[in-house]
Structure formats: structure tokens, C-alpha cells
Amino acid sequence: MFIITVVSDTIVLPPDEFEPGKHISHVRRRIQEKYVDRVIPDVGLVVALYDIIRITDAYIHPADFHHQKGGAFCKVAFRLCVFRPMVGETIVGVVDRSTATGLYVKLGSWFKDVHIPYADLKDPCLYDEQTKLWIWQYKREDATDSFFYRPGAEICFSVKAIVFNQRQEAKPGLAQVVAEKDSKGPSAPLPPMQVLGSVAGDDTTPLLPGSAEFIPDTKPEEILPIYTSLTSAFRTDRTKSLEWRLGQLDALERMIRENGPLFKQAMLEDMHVSPLDSDVMQVSLALSDIELFKANLESWMKPETVSSNLLTFPGKSELLSEPLGVVVVYGAWNYNFLLTLQPVIGAIGAGNCVLIKPGDYAVRSTQAMMQLIPRYMDQDCIRVVSGGPELSDAILEHEWQKIFFTGSPNVGRIIYEKAAKFLTPCTLELGGKSPCIVDGTADLTVTARRLVWGALASAGQTCVRPDYVLVHESIGDRLVQMVKSTVKEFYGRILKNLRGVINQRNFDRVTGLFDGSEDLMVLGGPKTMDRDTCSSNSPLSPFCVASYVPPTIINFRTDKQRFAAAKVMQMEIFGPVIPVCYYNDFSECVDFIRSRPSPLASYLFSSDPTMKETFKHSIHSGSQAINDTMVQLSVEDLPFGGTGASGFGSYHGKYSFECFSHKKAVLSRPTILDVPSTLSSVHSRRWKVLTRGPQRQALSRVGKVVQVDDHREDRGLRRITLGVLAEEEYREVRPAVSTGGAASYGPDLLKHHHRLLSDSY
């Protein structure tokens, strides 16, 4: 890309630069002013002065009036660093703009004259007149995907030709023809140097903004060396220190903040969500979790002291949170950024080595993590891989200390079954059909808005979305009408808010759920999509046309039998569809929900305090929210997790730390007392006496008092033997003993216990 070229030239120094010892620096400055950032014809763009080879003696022309009467003419030989890429060389640049003739690419801020003609773009590639963007449509597995060559996106191209244009004598070559087509007129100036590129070859691939390369999927045979490396790293204990954990959390935070636009762009192209939605629902939540860990990690790592008993007195009992080891985190494509990195935050905070596998379908956000995590994180302890089912099979062939999976129940069962071979503990965050109950006292305006937001966020592709609605028959028709109005308010007039499902496979699955219920659709449905309107107005038009499912309401009214048997009620919808059924008595809702697998969440809209309490105690689900939907996930002090078919285990906030930690019980005792041998079989009679009803209670209570007050500088407490107070010490300690403690048994009982054991010492 860069070459060194030798140049000989005459440099003129004016008389005021004849300073002894400084003339070389003046010559250097004059060379830089004359050559740097300029194109030498047939050589290239000068980037910098490399060095000066020699300077001959200067001479002065007697008739030189042009250089202030006596300028010194120095013959100088020097070397310049020149940008001159070789034909066939591969370069990474940034898309500057798109036109109908192709792409214009810039290299940093110093060279902006790279042109990739449309004939040299990936095939098939289309130009969208509305967005003014080139779009590469490529196939991945069973779906056709689209990559937008957006301004700011990095692109890997190969050099096809270098064209030098001498402005006065420019020859009409390819570069000139292209430039004239792009310009406002045929006389528009041509750049002095232009690089013609191509991305049509197999060795060039469009990149995400800020990336260095398009990383292919991890091969199954690569898992074994990765597993071995992570295991070896964990055995060094480097991940257990507070410094390492905080350092990695800082690195992760820096990665997110420095590459925020990259991640938001990736989420836009993966899930068709706006940068604002990505920021609110994913990026900000991950950053909040990191800040929580950094503020509390030191205290969470401290051992937790618990009370001991008489047998272990005067020992100390504590719980020590230690890392599990090498863990696997499976992300999910619907919120790939958050659902991958949030458990990773917990795993790192708990001191584990981590293998990260983001969701399969979210190609761009997975690529972003594949490219950025190695740049910021400790690669000895944190690795990221990508791939399909074959890669997962290879991962599950090894003995991990924890598997954290977010995804469908079907895949969760497969992972749990394979993990059982090694008795590997799992946390499974699965899905389910989360019910939403609306009783007759609900505020319908608020209910409709919060219900629509929760059900249709991210095109309904959220695991805790309200999956169906049970509404009291007295307000059913009114609620449905208000929901329809709210959908039109949110989505009907603002086409930029339209969202498509992730790919063609899920589009077919969601629209297939309409079968048998077409006559009950009061909004949306498969035949209501105005594709021409979407294509001409939405900045996401290619996605809309390919995978848009309109917000759909299916109203079963009071036909409970048809509602229960409908195809849309047989699986988690994971799309923008809202089935509705009316109920007469709350017990009908309870019976219906209990007859189905436990959901990940359940929701109630009501103003009745009694109904709220009944709901909390009668509906079994992973989490609940009253008079709202999904927002319980944003509360860092609430655990998030399922129950039954919706999964098991929980995380978020401190619960993430506990999810990836083992609570190790630790007992530490001094050697001054030897209680087990004192109460061994040779003293069985004394042990039986001590463990009778009232005596046992007395001893256990004394032991607890001692455990609490042992730190006091009280002479009596420091002379306790086996948690039993000597008769002469009892009255001295008694004021410090709470009511109901050892004092309630009186000195006679304690004196008796003291006599039983006195001959043992």
C-alpha cells in the first residue's frame, strides 16, 4: 500500500533562514510544504517525508530578486513515503457515499478517491432509489439476507487499477468516464489520483462499521483447543482476583461505549429496530449492569459470616462465593446484544473463564461481538465463537462447569440432556406463552397503550411479551377497540416504525399460526400488507417487503373452546399477533393458565387490591407485573428467570453474580478445645444428657449468644467453655443476654451442665 520513493529537487531558502545549524530543519519544512498531501503523477500520494539523503552546498543567483534578493538554492536528495496501492492488494476502507454508478470509499480522512463501480459490487446487488443505498442480497442457510452498504460501514475491497489524472491533459480513461457520470456536468474536475476497487471476488466481504474482517463461523474441531486453553487459564487463578474482574468489566464497558454506533447499526440490520430502541432496551441495560457490578463487586466477594452451633464453638462459619470454573453462555438472536452480554457480565464478575456463543440468526451483531471482544477482552480467559447446531454439538461434548442458555424450550431440552452426561449445572432461560389478564376495573386507556407496547415491541419477538389476553367480558369489546386504535396510533401512520421478523423461516412460522382463525381477525392479517406503500416510504423497505408481519388482533370473544384449540395458542407466537378471549370469572383464567406449561411471565391490569393479591398467589410464573408489561426486567434488584417449562435459574444484578458462583461452606476452628473427642462414644452418657429436650435447647441458645457476643472485651464471655457458663461467671454475663436466651434457664441448669463436663478438662 505504501512505497518509498527517492526524489531530487532544488529547495530555495530565503535569507532569513540562513541560521547556522538550523538550515536542515528549514529544508525539511520546505519539502513537507511542497510535497506532503500532494500527488506525484505516476507515483502516488505523498504521505510524509521519510528522510533526507544529502544536501549539497547552496548557491545564490546574482539576479535573484524573486526570492527576496539572495535566496539560497540547495540541491537536496530525499525519500518520501507515498501511498500507492498495488493492483490486486486488499484494503479496508469506509463507505463515504453511494450513487447509481457505485460506491465511493474513503481511507481515513486523508484519501477519499476510491471508487467501486457497480459492476464490481457483490452479485446480486441492487440500488435502492429511496434510500440511495446499494444492497447486497445474499443467501444464508435457508433465508435470503440483505447487507446495506451504508455510509460509515467498513468494506474490504481489492485494488483493480490506479488512475492518475493530470488536470490539463487528462486522457478519457475509465476513471474519467465514471467521474463525469457522477458529476453535475462533464467539466467537473477529476481527482489527481483515483483508486478503482472491486468487491466482487471471494476474498472481499462487506464489513460492519469499525471491524477489521468478516470472521467465518467457528469450526467444530476448534472447540477442543479453545476448551483446553480456557481450562488451563482458569487453573492459574488469575480470574479470581478483584483486579482482573474489574479490569475486564472496564474493558467490556469501554467496548460498548466506543462502539455504540456499530452495535446499533448491527441491531438495525439484524432486527430492524431503531437506534433509540436499541439504546433503551439493550445498550443502556447492559451498561447499567456493568456499573452495578463495579460498584458492588468487592462487597459481594467478601465471605458471609453465619452463626455456628455448640458443637463447633468457638469456631467461625462463613459462606465463600467462589467461581465455578469455565462456563458457556449461549445468547439469543432476538436481543442478541443484551442476552449475550448480560450473563457474560455475571460470569466475569463471579471470576469465571467464559466461552461466549451469540445467537445464530442475528448475523451482524454476532459479527460485531466476534470482531470486538478479542480486541478488548482477555483472550486467555474469554473467547467468543459463532456457528450453527454442529458447533453446539461440539461444545456440549466437553465438561463445562456451567451452561447458561437463552432460547426455545426445544433447544433447551437438548442442551440439558447433553449436559446431564457430565452433571453440568444449567441455567435455562426459555420462553412460553405469558398471559395478560384484564379485569373490569382496569384503566383501559393505560392498559391498551402498555399492552400494545409490550406485545409489539421488536415485532413481538420478545420472550416475556404478553402472548395472549384474557379480558373480562364486560369490557372486552371496548378494550379490543382501544387496542386497535392504539396500534394505528403507534404504527399506522409512521411507517418508519414498521418492523419485520428476523427471517423468512420465522415469517412463514408466524403467518402459519393464522390458519383457522382468519375469520376472527379484527386487525391485520396476512392480506393487509401494503407492500408498495412500505417500499416507497420506509427506510427499512427491503426488510419490510421480505419479512413484515402486520400487527394482528385475533378476537375469539367468548368462544373459549375454539380459543384453546387454535393454532395460535399451541406455541409461543414470537411475532406481532395478539389473541384475545373473554372470561366471566377470574377462576376461569386461573384454571386455563394452570392447565398449560408454566409461563415465563404473567401480567394483570386491575385497580382492585383484592384481585391483585389473588393474582400474585394463584398464578405460577417466572415473574409478574401488575398494570404494566415487561418492565420488571429493568429492575436490577429483581431476579429474572423461569419456572417449569419456561426454564430454571435466574440472573440480573446480584443474582447474575450468584448464578455463576458456588457458595462454599467454610468452618474454621481453633485447637484450644476438642469438643468432638470430649463428646465421643466413651462419654456417650454425658452426650445423651446434654442432648435431652431442655438441656439441648439451653446449650444451643448459649452457643448462639456466644457466637454473637464473642467479640466483646467482656471477661466473663472470654472464659466460656463449650458455650456453657461456669456458675461463678453466670451473674457477670447475665445483663448481656437477651430475654429468652440462656438466661431464661437459670444458673442451676447451667451449673448442672458444667459439672457433667468438668472432669473432661
User: CA–CA separation, 322 vs 662, rounded Å?
Assistant: 5
Active site residue 291: no
CATH number, domain with residue 439: 3.40.309.10
Radius of gyration of the chain (CA): 37
Q: What is the pLDDT of residue 736?
A: 41
Q: What is the pLDDT of residue 143?
A: 53
Q: What is the pLDDT of residue 344?
A: 98
**550 and 602, same domain (yes or no):** yes
Q: How many domains does the chain fold into?
A: 5
Q: What is the pLDDT of residue 422?
A: 97
Q: What is the pLDDT of residue 722?
A: 40
HSE on the CB side for 336, CA within 13 Å? Answer: 28
CATH number, domain with residue 51: 3.30.1490.120
Q: Give, in degrees to the nearest 5, the angle at Cα 40 between 35 and 41.
A: 160
Q: What is the pLDDT of residue 539?
A: 42
Cβ contact 13:30 at 8 Å:
yes
For residue 751, report the phi and psi dihedrals to the nearest 5 degrees: -60, -40
Give residues with Cβ within 8 angstroms of 35, minimum separation 6: 7, 46, 49, 80
User: CA–CA separation, 694 vs 215, rounded Å?
Assistant: 72
**260 and 369, same domain (yes or no):** yes
**372 and 320, same domain (yes or no):** yes
Three-class DSSP category at 186: coil
For residue 310, report the phi and psi dihedrals to the nearest 5 degrees: -60, -40
**329 and 466, same domain (yes or no):** no
Question: Of the candidates 491, 453, 412, 465, which has an alpha carbon nearest to the alpha carbon of residue 574?
Answer: 465
Q: What is the pLDDT of residue 685?
A: 58
**378 and 482, same domain (yes or no):** no
In DSSP notation, 56-112 reads PPPEE-TT--TTSS--EEEEEEEEEEEE-PPTT-EEEEEEEEEETTEEEEEETTTEE
Task: With 0.75 as the threshold, say if the pTM is over it.
Answer: no
**253 and 344, same domain (yes or no):** yes
Return the bridge partners of 90, or none: 158
Q: What is the pLDDT of residue 249?
A: 98
Cβ contact 395:357 at 8 Å:
yes
CATH number, domain with residue 254: 3.40.605.10
Q: Convert 100-134 to b/e letters by CB count within 10 Å (16 or more is b).
A: ebbbbbbbeeebebbbbbbebbbeebebbeebebb
**356 and 261, same domain (yes or no):** yes
In DSSP notation, 277-301 reads HHIIIIIHHHHHHHHHHHHHHHHHH
**95 and 65, same domain (yes or no):** no
Expressed as residue numbers, the domain containing 145 is 90-198
* pLDDT tens-digit map of 168-205: 433 333 333 334 444 444 455 788 999 999 887 654 55
Give residues with Cβ within 8 angstroms of 296, minimum separation 6: 654
What single-letter DSSP state applies at residue 217? P
Question: Which one of the listed residues 154, 253, 269, 429 is annotated catalytic?
Answer: 429
Domain contains 728: yes
**164 and 294, same domain (yes or no):** no
- Which of 641, 659, 689 corresponds to the end of one domain? 641
Sites in the chain below the pLDDT cut of 50: 168-186, 203, 207-212, 494-496, 530-545, 698, 701-747, 749-761
Q: What is the pLDDT of residue 380?
A: 96
